[in-house]
Structure 1
Amino acid sequence: MLDEHVRRHTPGIDGRQVFLDSAGSSLPPQVVLDTVTGHLHREAEIGGYRAAAERAEDLDRVRTSVARLLNAAPGTISLTDSATRSWLDFVTAVDIRPGQRVLVTEVEYHSNAVQFLHRGIPFDVIPSDAGGTLDLAALDRMLDGDVALVSLVHVPTNSGLINPVREVVELAHARGALVLLDACQSAGQLVLDATELGVDGLTGTGRKWLRGPRGTGFLYVRPDIADRLHPATVDGHGAEWISERELRLHQDGRRFELWECDVATRLGLGAAVDYLLELGPHRVEDTVRERAQRLRSALDGLGGVTVRDPGRDRCGIVTFTVDGVAAHDVRTELSRHDIIVTTSTRRSAVIDMDRRGIDAVTRASPHYFVCDAEIDRAVAAVAEIAGSA
């Protein structure tokens, strides 16, 4: 358990609501709120350019903080406006030649999948094993010289499953394929060591488990493959115009960044990452897993409620259905009790939801600041809904 002080540092904890949607957009700690609003006030006083210049070193330190979180070098980090933007920056920079294809998991996220469809990039789906986890034996059979990239979702949007990473990387690299890890739902709740995992790219967002502002994200690129990537979009921040017909791409993470950004929220991302680093990522992971398992076990014991999380290794996302009650109605009824959850629907993970025959699930995601009494209150409310169905 983390200390009570994290609750005191969170303005959104008011004794009334039970917040179980950190997999959507979490409650920021006070330091993040102060950082963002403080910079906006400074922009209003002296203008955006001068305010940004005052914080130039702090902006550079945001990359350093993200790098510390991932056990990576600062030069491998690019700061973006979302996990999706980061993912797109990597995928569009990969040289996928005619005849090559991509492999995706059954839990591929819709924003990722639609890009392959939109761009006409062929992809095959790696099946899951009987427990719902990516089937490593099947992946081994599917890898050949025609696979350019494995798009690996670490934690899906619609369940608490955790996919293996290091094993996927070893198989893919042995066949010459790159691995891009979508860590949108794992960054901030699970310890991520990009160097140890060996992934070629890793993408994340600030607004979920990191407790940062919306409109923030980051991209990690393994240094050994950086020169093989060709950014689809560059400006005068990511490249230097050195003569009339010549440019030079920066050799660090700036090559994937654009000059224009929201400085206030980017500083807020740095504050959120620093807050997590101070708490300790291992401590946070242990607490989040414990919070989720307490909720999952309690829900599993309720009549008329089915926990829908597959896999053997599970994280802070807890999904469930209530017999005879639509997921959105469960969410609405819980909201009347000031219990904040969300839903995951078929459109967000078509392959996985169709395979499991589910249209929608209610998704609860307790962060480390959620206490026992709040989890018990949520369980009692779900029991009431199930009992009234």
Structure 2
Amino acid sequence: MIDLDRIRAETPAAARRAYLHNAGAALMPAPVLAAQVRHLELEAELGGYAAAAAEAGRLEGVYDSVARLLNAGREEIALVENATVAWQMAFYSLRFAPGDRILTAEAEYAANYVAFLQVARRIGAEIAVVPSDATGELDTAALEAMIDARVKLIAITWVPTNGGLTNPAAAIGRIARRHGIPYLLDACQAVGQMPVDVEAIGCDMLSATGRKFLRGPRGTGFLYVRRGLLQRLEPPMIDHFAAPWVAREEYRLRDDARRFETWENNYAARAGLGVAVDYALGLGLEAIQARCQALSARLREGLARIPGAVVRDLGRSPSAIVSFTLAGRAARDMVAEAARAGIVIGASEPTSTRIDAERRGLGSVLRASPHYYNTEDEIDRLLTLCAA
């Protein structure tokens, strides 16, 4: 059971505004902020090196926390600056040849898709977009039919940036494993709002951020790489932390996923990330998911009753990201109007998910993403504003 009073007390800004932009960057709870401030104060007092040494046990524990969150081994976890770096380190570690195929989804995120385009331009690899089924989810039967000897990667965004969609990550994983194809899962907007089990999903690599539904600091992210694949991947960039310089003409990659890290990092942010992960684990991801689903369902149902409001979400099991449009009201104008009313929402442009936007004829859409610390009253406040 979610103790909403305690959680809101530990989120002071929640008393000052209805914050419904958690798919962008959620409000950090007080313990996360305190962990960062504490480490910064240590750095100011002792210097950065001594502070890291003093907190070595706590900082090492972040790997264990993330591993528990994902049901992974700590040696399969790399901590990096953000989800994009995590995804790029995994993707650019793979070796493609002319004619190799990358399978992806219609709702793939722009940052990932431009990387596909770069590899296609540089090397001659091919991008194949798997069609969606009638619900808007990736069509797993179509995915199966598209697999041949040239497919070298399946790369999917689990919860896209808009559209409310939750792609069938585990079903995709079963197909990938059956055919022995590496599977890279962008879980940026899934982690923190639902349980994530890499063994059940069957992904080989998974990238995520701290700032969204995990309620961690900006500038934090992590990468999971399955140990069976890890030893076959050489990162696109290395330093002497990822690959110690063992002889004049030789370096040796680390045996664990930290081969994807660099020596320097933001230890204060890392401390905050660890507390954010532990905070979510303490509440329970099943309870968090249930609360998120209830609040987003209330918002969708309320929007359906407002003339001129159109919910733009897809899929059988919508996520906590509610995408919608309001007739005669531009998305950016509505975001500003909401802010004046003390309500924080966002907008998503077609360039974020160009293929899906073009297929559905979407322009800018409003994006509200409630989290477990939000209240039903806050959802109703947004609905009242939309109906005005």
- Measured against the shorter chain, the TM-score band is over 0.9
State the SS of the aligned residue for 1:249: coil
1:190/1:285 contact within 8 Å kept: yes
1:333 aligns with 2:337: yes
- 1:278-297 to 2 correspondence within 5 Å? 278-297=282-301
Secondary structure at the aligned position of 1:228 is classed as coil
Q: Deviations over 1:127-152 (max 9, x none)?
A: 11121110111111111110110111
3-state SS of paired residue (2:244)? strand
> Which secondary structure state, in structure 1, belongs to the residue aligned with residue 12 of structure 2?
coil
Amino acid at match of 2:378: E
- CA offsets 1:243-290 (integer angstroms, 9 cap, x no match): 111111111121001011011001100010010111111111111111
Pairwise CA RMSD: 1.0
Secondary structure class of the residue paired with 1:203? strand
Secondary structure in structure 1 of the residue aligned to 2:13: coil
- CA apart distance, 1:98: 2.7
Report the AA paired with residue 200 of structure 1.
D
Q: CA deviation at 1:124?
A: 1.0
Post-superposition, which runs of at least 4 consecutive aligned residues in structure 1 deviate over 4 A?
none
1:5 aligns with 2:6: yes
Q: What amino acid sits opposite 2:363 in the alignment?
A: D
- 1:117 alignment partner in structure 2: 117
For 2:117 and 2:140, locate their aligned partners in 1 and report how far apart those are by CA, in whole Å. 25
Of 204, 208, 233, 2:208 maps to 204
Secondary structure at the aligned position of 2:53 is classed as helix
Q: Of 319, 325, 342, which aligns to 2:346?
A: 342
Q: How many residues align?
A: 383
> Which of 323, 337, 340 is the aligned partner of 2:327?
323
Partners of 1:272 and 1:159 in 2: CA distance: 26
For normalisation by structure 1, the TM-score amounts to 0.97
Residue 265 of structure 1 is matched in structure 2 by 269
Distance 1:147 1:55 in 2: 45
CA distance in 2, matches of 1:26, 1:69: 18
Tell me by how many angstroms 1:11 deviates. Answer: 2.2
**Partner secondary structure for residue 286 of structure 2:** helix
TM-score when scaled to structure 2? Answer: 0.97
Q: Which amino acid aligns with 1:55?
A: E
Q: Give distance in 2, aligned partners of 1:244 and 1:58.
A: 35
Q: CA deviation at 1:88?
A: 0.2
Report what 2:315 is aligned to.
Answer: 311
SS at match of 2:252: strand
1:122-271 matches, within 5 Å, as 122-271=126-275
Structure 1 counterpart of 2:386: 382
Counterpart AA for 1:357 = G
8 Å contact from structure 1 (residues 143, 172) kept in 2 = no
Instruction: Give me the whole-angstrom Cα distance separating, in 2, the residues matched to 1:215 and 1:129.
Output: 35
Cα distance between partner residues in 2 of 1:106 and 1:259: 37
Q: Deviations over 1:59-111 (max 9, x none)?
A: 11101100000011111000011111000000011122332120110011001
SS in 2 for 1:66: helix
CA distance in structure 1 between the aligned counterparts of 2:24 and 2:240, rounded to whole angstroms: 34
Residue type of the partner of 1:229? L
2:375 is the counterpart of 1:371:
yes
- Counterpart code for 1:157: T
Any idea what the Cα deviations from partners look like across 1:166-223, whole Å, max 9, x if unmatched? 2112222222311101000100001100111110000000000000000000000011
Q: Distance in 1 between matches of 2:175 and 2:190?
A: 22
> Deviation of residue 157 (structure 1)?
0.2
SS at match of 1:362: strand
Q: Deviations over 1:312-352 (max 9, x none)?
A: 11111111000111111111111111110000110111000
Structure 2 spans left out of the alignment, 5+ residues: none
